[in-house]
A and B are shown apart, each in its own frame.
Chain A
Amino acid sequence: MIYQGKQKIWSDYQKEIPDDHYFYVRSCIRQNFFPASEKYFLAICRDLLGRDIFETEHHTTCAGIAYHSDTIPQETAMTVVARQFALMTEAGYDNLVTSCITSFGNYCEILETWREFPELEAKIREDLWKACRREFKKPQYVAHASDLMYKLRGEIAERAKFRLVSRATGEPLRIVEHIGCHYSKMFPHKGVGGAEYPCVLSGMAEAWGGQVIDYPERRHCCGYGFRQYHVKANRGYSLSNTHKKFESMEPFHPDMIITNCPGCPYFLDRWQYVISEQTGKTYGPNGHGIPALTYEELAGLVLGYDPWDLGLQIHQVGPEPLLDKIGIPYDPARKYLGLNEKDILKPGLPTVLKCC
């Protein structure tokens, strides 16, 4: 097919995503802060939609956070990743899907560096053999988990119990998306839509009935900055960048934010709490914040899963106004219960930000 004009430009930003058969590697941050999102990635893509996604208990961190915090040499990070590739090879898979943007960037950087400097790949193979007695094939394809969900967005839409529209007016929800820096800023051709026309999340939001709104700082970093968050003395950097984004999106009155990266939903959620405590300002209606959800949480809501099974109770910004707007039922009394209705007390309340 010959593409011309805008079609040709757009074709450069497309990405072929394999439909099936993936070796799955998890995210350090998501397992800690959004554990249910990883559970529902598998529940939706594997159990509901029937894709083959394999996980072994033996995989580990990719060490990406330590690498981007400059605490380990490049060769160490590369060999940890080479070990993940070895586990994938031993399990008989060619496609790798990762639940983390930092990992996705790390895998892409390593494969591109090896392509350019084959002697480095040879050295890492040698190091892996010395350390672990393992060998590997490079993956034919590396996907981020959101790539697969983007690919399956139509199948999810077909099974939707709810659409991302206002129950009262029928208008589409106003959705802000944040794809995360390491998804496509380093290697734009690896991300759906590249760095300029990100559509991995907007594609999902629109397929499920929402309206994606553009705003000036759409592509600005959430402010994680690795050492700029992990060191307590530096967190002003992280807060300042998130604040900049919220000030930029505020005039557009978003109903929610959909995020790609493990850290971004955490920072876009928690810094709203800090801004409210420090300045008294909130960005949602009537003293509430703007909910920042992962794509699995959003897909789960659309598919009709219980919001508390999806883990929305461990966000600091309460999701209730959003759930009410869509018309998704929930039981406030069950929000903070443990397994089998166990009473595990409730979190304290912020001073300013309304949470329910």
Chain B
Amino acid sequence: MGKLYDELCKDYRFREGLKTCINCGTCTAICPAAEFYKYDPRKIVDTVQRKDEAEIEALLKSDTIWYCGECMSCVTRCPRKNGPGLVIMALRNLSAKLGYFTCSEKGRQLWPLTKQLTGNILHFGYCVHPSTFDPDDHPESGPVSRWVIEHKEDVYARLGANYQGKGPGVLRRIPQEDLDELQAIFDVTGGTERIQAVEKASREKAAEMGMDFDEYTKYTFEHCSPGHFNNE
């Protein structure tokens, strides 16, 4: 067995998600991502099952593994109780760990995502927070969301939230001692190391692409090249 396959086997999600795939393609038939992206979970599971190191490395460096939405519709339908979505999570985890994610456009999006979500968790205690929700980054959220964000203190007060307040309630300020505990959890469990590794690999890629890091962050968040979709 190869080194990459061995690494995948250490991931509990991989052990749960891949038992004996019979290549029936039910996962692909039900998959919301396969309908729109050039994506076929059956082929991914088949590739991993073959245990071919070169093929697994190519997968870890590809756009393909980043098309899944992790809805886990495949888990419900698989007649052998596999979870292709779980296999994807293990592949993404290894790609992030090894820095291979910077080899693909969809993989490079891991940096703006990491910055946004882990930043919100460690600064506010929430994955999403009104103070970092920029309506210009979310034109789809409509005029009503722009109004909510522009008047957030008033709107949240009107709707009974405890925005930035002490004590329990909706959108309360989470006490610093609890944020310190979250930071300690990240430090102890590899979360902090992962953020640093993703940032380091992304900075190196930005330099290779001739971009400063802010420009790289914005570009990877916004840019979509042609060729990802089935109808292209």
Contacts and interface: CB of A to CB of B under 8 A. Distances in A.
Contacts of A29: 127-128
Contacts of A226: 69-70
A220 B34 CA distance: 13
Interface string B166-187: 1111111011011101101111
A309 to B, nearest CB: 8
Contacts of B166: 57
Contacts, number: 267
Given A221-B71, A225-B71, A236-B36, A65 B93 contact: no
B144 A28 contact: no
Interface residues of B, number: 92
B35 to A, nearest CB: 8
A131 B175 CA distance: 17
A80 B182 contact: yes
B221 A131 contact: no
Interface stretch (B10-18, B46-54, B204-212): B10-18
A308 to B, nearest CB: 8
Contacts of A159: none
B118 A71 contact: yes
Interface in A321-356: 336-339, 342, 344-350, 355
Given A60-B182, A232-B222, A240 B36 contact: yes
A197 B128 CA distance: 32
A161 interface: no
A223 B69 contact: yes
Interface in B140-154: 140-148, 151, 154
Interface residues of A, number: 94
Interface string B199-222: 000000000000000000000111
24 contacts: A31-B126, A31-B161, A39-B159, A60-B174, A60-B178, A60-B179, A60-B182, A66-B117, A70-B110, A73-B191, A74-B12, A76-B189, A113-B12, A116-B16, A131-B184, A131-B189, A225-B68, A234-B106, A235-B140, A236-B36, A237-B67, A239-B140, A344-B154, A347-B148
Given A60-B125, A60-B126, A181-B71, 6 more contacts: A60-B178, A69-B113, A195-B76, A316-B144, A338-B157, A347-B146
Interface of B: 11-13, 16, 32-33, 35-37, 66-73, 75-76, 83, 89, 92-93, 96, 106, 109-110, 112-114, 116-118, 121, 125-130, 133, 137-138, 140-148, 151, 154-161, 166-172, 174-175, 177-179, 181-182, 184-191, 194-195, 198, 220-224, 229
